[in-house]
Amino acid sequence: MTRIIDSTLREGMQSAHGRFTLGQSVEVATLLARAGIDMIECGHPAVDEEELLRVAAVVEAAGDTPVLAHARAHAGDIEAVAKAGASWVGIFLGVNETSRQFRLPGRTLAHLYETIQQSVAHARELGLRVRFTVEDSSRTDPGQLVEAYLIAVEAGAERICFADTLGILEPQETAERIRTLRKRCPGTDIEVHLHDDRGLSLANALAAIEAGADWVSTSVNGLGERAGITDLATLLVNLHHRGTRPLVDGTLLGDLSRRVGAYSRSMPDHRRPVVGRDVFHHVAQLHVKAVEREPGSYEWLDPAEVGRTGSVTRPGLPADPSDWIVSPQVISATELRHHRAGPGHRFVMVDNRFVPGADQYCIARRIPLLDDYGAGHVDTHVHHCDSLFMFLGDEADYSGLTVEVTLGERVFPVQSPASVFIPAGVPHGYRVVGGAGTYLNHVLAGEYNSSLIDPLGSTR
């Protein structure tokens, strides 16, 4: 059975917006373990103490699921992995001409081979199990590539990783490379780490599996450097569909996608296979009639296997522009989770109830002058999307309103006029301290409650 190492917590940190906190990393690792992932790849502990602590927390959260952490072929990097408590180290080194000229100038091929042997041996002496990767494998001379792997295996590496670092290969080429490695390195597990720059990482992963690869490196939502790597959910469901790797709990894939999308501020597009908003949505009249009789008419997968339901309602904005104009309604904040009744009237300016398909939520609260504003009516909460607080006082130039805003673990005093941008995934809240004015909250989701992310294990 193909085994999966998910590198969201390492490769995902190299994406344009990827920066997982310790707490977020623990959540993701916990869900990955529950989903039956065979190994979790997390971080580069030598970077700093904060990164080392994050990896250590993931090791604890992962339980029986082994954790691999990244290291250059440097003694200090490898020792940091051991200190973090990971059981595996992923040592990487490039040996091709590009690496020798630009990544490691002045290093000869013989010196690089010696570095591989010494670094793997050092890791084994520390009690670490080793995966060795030749960086930029797909652009490395085949003879030099095999030699590097053989040296690593001889020194104690239990797994070698073929990295298509630039995502340049096509499926047939990928299969040929893996078949060659399979012949030259018998008895050694082979992993593939495939970038998606040409949109071919999934096809290449399936070709590699057919050619004998034992492991595939994935990430949630395909998150990673540039265009990312092989998408976890899509690969898992394809292997399940093939009958070669059953899903352990497909219903977790949506939660993983949503959390990782929020924490990286990079939500998957609506057409992303398996987890995208629209992938089980039917609109064409012929399709709607067919799936109402037999869902399999236009669905390759039972949506329930991945915690989804099919839909045949037509989404989208009303066609008549007059329907885009909203007369705000006063609605109590108690309709929202984490909220209680607070000072002043609360006008809902827009959400999907008033403009179907708007996918935005905005409220305006009139805050009167009070002797005592109380302890606050909003508990700290988290959205899967970006949001915004705006504070406008009743005095000249919108001054005169004082609040406290919570962002993460810090509390900030704020004087109006002010706006507070709140990135997706960040815990936040506010409390009125003094004055009078108007508070506005704008959330990039049409349904407030469904935009909330709760801590793992919490009950609503």
DSSP annotation string for 132-173: EEETTGGGS-HHHHHHHHHHHHHHT-SEEEEEETT----HHH
Query: In angstroms, rounded to a whole number, what is the distance separating the alpha carbons of residues 223 and 385?
Result: 17
Neighbour-count burial of 331, counting CB atoms closer than 10 A to its CB (0-12 exposed, 13-18 middle, 19+ buried)? middle
- Please identify which residue in the block is written with the tokens 């005169």: 400
Contacts for 114 with CB less than 8 Å, ≥ 6 apart: none
Identify which of 155, 135, 143, 151 has the alpha carbon closest to the alpha carbon of residue 95.
Answer: 135
Identify which of 184, 181, 186, 203 has the alpha carbon closest to the alpha carbon of residue 194.
Answer: 203
Which run of H or E residues covers position 420? strand 418-422
- Residue 383 is among the residues annotated as catalytic for this protein: no
Helix locations, 156-231, DSSP H = 171-184, 201-210
Beta bridge partners of 133: 92, 161
Q: Which of these is catalytic: 287, 338, 345, 428?
A: 287
Whether residue 199 contacts residue 190, with contact meaning beta carbons closer than 8 Å, is answered with no
Q: How many CB atoms lie within 10 A of CB 130?
A: 25
Write out the two tokens for 67: 């954790």
Kindly list the strands in the beta sheet with 329-330, ordered across the sheet, starting from the edge strand earlier in the chain.
Answer: 329-330, 346-350, 361-367, 437-443, 387-393, 418-422
Query: In angstroms, rounded to a whole number, what is the distance separating the alpha carbons of residues 4 and 13?
Result: 19
Whether residue 256 contacts residue 31, with contact meaning beta carbons closer than 8 Å, is answered with yes
Backbone angles phi, psi at 5, to 5 degrees: -110, 120
Query: In angstroms, rounded to a whole number, what is the distance separating the alpha carbons of residues 418 and 391?
Result: 5
Contacts for 80 with CB less than 8 Å, ≥ 6 apart: 45, 46, 52, 69, 71
Q: At what angle do helices 171-184 and 142-155 cross, to 10 degrees?
A: 50
**Any idea which residues carry the catalytic annotation?**
287
